[in-house]
Amino acid sequence: MENLNGYLIISAILFSIGTIGVLTRKNAIVIFMCVEMMLNAVNLTFVALSRHLGNLDGQVFVFFVMTVAAAEAAVGLALMIAFYNNKESIDVDDINLMKW
């Protein structure tokens, strides 16, 4: 597969976009979506590499990553709801009780 590098570069770009999103966005849900984007960028890498290397390890890995991402989403949203109940906001700048 000659254009492996293309896939890898695209996934690297996606990963970076996700990272920058985490670093800049204020809304906790958006941040979480950016994290998901990072994970999916990794998934793309895995699949591309798997195809390139000709073994299935990478694709199996992707299934696990997706499962885990789903579990994380469930827990994460629950935590956000609990936080929203207290603060009526999911802006991460409002997560500020503990510092120093």
Q: Of 1, 13, 66, 78, which one interacts with another protein (CB under 8 A)?
A: 78
Residue 53 binding another protein, by CB under 8 A: yes
Q: Of 3, 6, 79, 89, which one interacts with another protein (CB under 8 A)?
A: 79
Residue whose C-alpha is closest to residue 33's, from 83, 61, 72: 72
Q: Of 9, 13, 66, 71, which one interacts with another protein (CB under 8 A)?
A: 71
Residue 96 binding another protein, by CB under 8 A: yes
Distances in Å between the alpha carbon of 73 and those of 9, 11, 24, 29, 80?
27, 21, 20, 10, 10
d(CA 16, CA 37): 9
Residue 99 binding another protein, by CB under 8 A: yes
Residue 82 binding another protein, by CB under 8 A: yes
